[in-house]
């Protein structure tokens, strides 16, 4: 049985696919975005809802994306066109391509910060004056116009380079060694961070919910967006990756391992950041700079900690790269097919446009910081539109498509669940629970409920 399209690239092995999907999921979202959003959203209540979002909405939609991609063997737009020709579901595909542009545009800005810190640690770490500390250093760095743009550009060059050589060669191998190394390092640093004196406060902050915040719709909204962002969900990155799979692979196991590892990563990252946040007296709601202010303090307090700084920012940049690659691949796969361009030409062209698109986000933290859109700077606005609005809407359409737009028997067969209890439960979640939950979270966040 060969349901593959001639000439399409494919993963070399089942492990290769799982690693690539994990590489996409694990990135800045787990360390940078998770910790600052958790900090801003009050900690434990947010974490609880976040985990519920992963389990009840994230994993089922992740399965839906894998299933669609493998069955359709095409990019986000092409997949819907193949499975449901002439139907409006393809809207999710276009939304996905748009999200890829927006997310990668600001993602590259933050990945650029990580590259900058890595290079700083090549010569001992960022040098600070006593007054401003690492917060001052970070603030000065991101508000200087040119430096962050240079590193953002460098990150885009690396990302384009990997997509340029192709899915299998470029993506599959890149993270086999580096991701486990990052996991070990984050674990070790979490252990160390707990000895700094802020452990008790951090554990309380992360695991003792303030139940009253469960009535705050914004906490749900933030948790849903973070779940989609962290799992690389809702814009077809995993449809695209699933499309490079053959029929032999079993999907449910892959979906659960990707989500499990991703969530574990985030929690351990929280255990690394928050004890230090409290030990150093940093405000948990300091915003997007949180890890860049906190971590150098940790490295400083270790004798010879510069080497940890070097390793950490190297591995964080690598993790960002494998995520960035999955974002770029969504757009590249679509434009390649649509216009019959070569992979190389498409990667360079799209990569350049995304770099340009990211410039306002970077400048929005410095010389353009007066530009505010509904109280958000440009960077936050891009993140908000993509992560909190486009991704959940994309996920909603994907859930509805598999639940309602596809014959149930087909969907069950394509997913490897078959007509089992779990399979039927999955369909029920996609039909009712996930769409309704997303809808309610949306309505309540705009104050309608």
The residue ranges that bind ligand TRP (CB under 6 A) are 24-25, 27-30, 103, 229-230, 232, 235, 237, 323, 326-327, 391
Q: How far is the CB of 197 from ligand TRP (least distance, A)?
A: 30
CA 143/CA 371 separation, integer angstroms: 14
Q: How far is the CB of 36 from ligand TRP (least distance, A)?
A: 13
Q: How far is the CB of 396 from ligand TRP (least distance, A)?
A: 15
Q: Which residue is nearest to ligand TRP (CB)?
A: 29
Residue 47, both tokens: 């974490």
Of the candidates 248, 203, 304, 361, the one whose C-alpha atom is nearest the C-alpha of residue 3 is 248
Residue closer to ligand TRP by CB (options 363, 391) is: 391
CA 316/CA 313 separation, integer angstroms: 5
Residue closer to ligand TRP by CB (options 237, 336) is: 237
Check if the beta carbon of residue 103 is closer than 8 Å to that of residue 35: no
Q: How far is the CB of 418 from ligand TRP (least distance, A)?
A: 29
SS3 per-residue string spanning 228-267: HHHCCCCCCHHHHHHCCCCCCCCHHHHHHHHHHHHHHHHH
Q: How far is the CB of 98 from ligand TRP (least distance, A)?
A: 12
Helix (H) or strand (E) segment spanning residue 40: helix 34-40
Residue closer to ligand TRP by CB (options 223, 279) is: 223
Angle at 22 between CA 385 and CA 388, to 5 degrees: 15
Residue closer to ligand TRP by CB (options 83, 330) is: 330
Check if the beta carbon of residue 110 is closer than 8 Å to that of residue 320: yes
Residue 331, both tokens: 């757009």
Burial 413-437 (b: 16+ CB within 10 A, else e): ebbbbeeeeebeebbebbbebbbeb
Q: What is the DSSP letter of 373?
A: B
Check if the beta carbon of residue 387 is closer than 8 Å to that of residue 233: no
User: Collapsing DSSP states into helix, strand and coil, what is residue 95?
Assistant: helix
Q: How far is the CB of 38 from ligand TRP (least distance, A)?
A: 14
At a CB cut-off of 8 Å and minimum separation 6, what does 390 contact? Answer: 95, 98, 99, 102, 234, 235
Residue closer to ligand TRP by CB (options 190, 427) is: 190
Of the candidates 264, 229, 1, the one whose C-alpha atom is nearest the C-alpha of residue 100 is 229
Residue closer to ligand TRP by CB (options 32, 205) is: 32
Q: How far is the CB of 99 from ligand TRP (least distance, A)?
A: 7
Check if the beta carbon of residue 52 is closer than 8 Å to that of residue 226: no
Q: How far is the CB of 410 from ligand TRP (least distance, A)?
A: 26
Residue closer to ligand TRP by CB (options 24, 174) is: 24
Residue closer to ligand TRP by CB (options 271, 427) is: 271
CA 234/CA 394 separation, integer angstroms: 5
Q: How far is the CB of 237 from ligand TRP (least distance, A)?
A: 4
Residue closer to ligand TRP by CB (options 104, 368) is: 104
Count of CB atoms within 10 A of residue 148's CB? 25
Check if the beta carbon of residue 232 is closer than 8 Å to that of residue 24: yes
Residue closer to ligand TRP by CB (options 194, 222) is: 222
CA 266/CA 245 separation, integer angstroms: 27
Residue 235, both tokens: 């814009």
Residue closer to ligand TRP by CB (options 90, 233) is: 233
Q: How far is the CB of 270 from ligand TRP (least distance, A)?
A: 14
CA 124/CA 246 separation, integer angstroms: 47
Q: How far is the CB of 289 from ligand TRP (least distance, A)?
A: 17
């Amino acid at each position: 049985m060969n349901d593959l399209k001639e000439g399409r690239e494919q993963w070399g092995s089942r492990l290769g696919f799982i690693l690539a999907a994990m590489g996409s999921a694990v990135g800045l979202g787990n360390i940078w975005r998770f910790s600052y959003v958790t900090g801003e959203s009050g900690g434990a209540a947010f974490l609880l809802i976040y985990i519920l979002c992963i389990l009840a909405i994230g994993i089922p939609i992740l399965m839906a994306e894998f299933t669609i991609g493998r069955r359709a063997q095409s990019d986000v737009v092409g997949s819907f066109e193949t499975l449901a020709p002439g139907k409006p579901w393809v809207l999710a595909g276009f939304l996905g391509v748009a999200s890829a542009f927006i997310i990668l545009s600001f993602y590259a800005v933050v990945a650029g910060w990580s590259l900058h810190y890595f290079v700083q640690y090549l010569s001992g770490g960022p040098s600070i004056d006593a007054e401003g500390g690492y917060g001052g250093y970070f603030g000065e760095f991101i508000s200087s116009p040119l430096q962050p743009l240079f590193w953002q550009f460098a990150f885009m060059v690396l990302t384009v380079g990997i997509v340029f050589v192709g899915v299998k060669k470029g993506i599959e191998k890149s993270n086999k060694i580096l991701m486990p190394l990052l996991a070990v390092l984050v674990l070790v640093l979490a252990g160390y961070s707990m000895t700094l004196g802020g452990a008790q406060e951090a554990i309380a902050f992360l695991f003792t919910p303030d139940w009253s915040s469960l009535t705050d719709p914004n906490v749900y909204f933030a948790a849903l967006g973070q779940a989609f962002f962290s799992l690389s969900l809702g814009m077809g990155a995993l449809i695209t990756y699933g499309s490079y799979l053959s029929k032999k692979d079993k999907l449910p196991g892959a979906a659960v391992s990707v989500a499990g590892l991703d969530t574990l990563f985030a929690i351990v990252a929280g255990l690394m950041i928050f004890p230090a946040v409290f030990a150093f007296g940093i405000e948990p709601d300091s915003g997007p700079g949180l890890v860049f202010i906190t971590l150098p303090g940790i490295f400083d307090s270790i004798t010879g900690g510069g080497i940890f700084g070097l390793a950490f920012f190297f591995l964080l940049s690598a993790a960002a790269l494998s995520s960035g690659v999955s974002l770029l691949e969504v757009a590249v796969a679509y434009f390649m097919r649509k216009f019959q361009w070569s992979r190389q030409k498409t990667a360079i062209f799209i990569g350049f446009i995304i770099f340009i698109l990211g410039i306002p986000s970077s400048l929005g933290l410095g010389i353009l910081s007066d530009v505010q859109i509904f109280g958000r700077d440009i960077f936050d606005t891009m993140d908000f539109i993509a992560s909190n609005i486009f991704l959940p809407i994309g996920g909603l359409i994907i859930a509805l498509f598999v639940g309602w737009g596809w014959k149930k028997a087909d969907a069950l067969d394509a997913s490897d669940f078959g007509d089992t209890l779990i399979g039927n439960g999955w369909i029920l979640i996609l039909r009712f629970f996930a769409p309704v939950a997303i809808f309610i979270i949306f309505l309540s966040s705009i104050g309608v409920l």
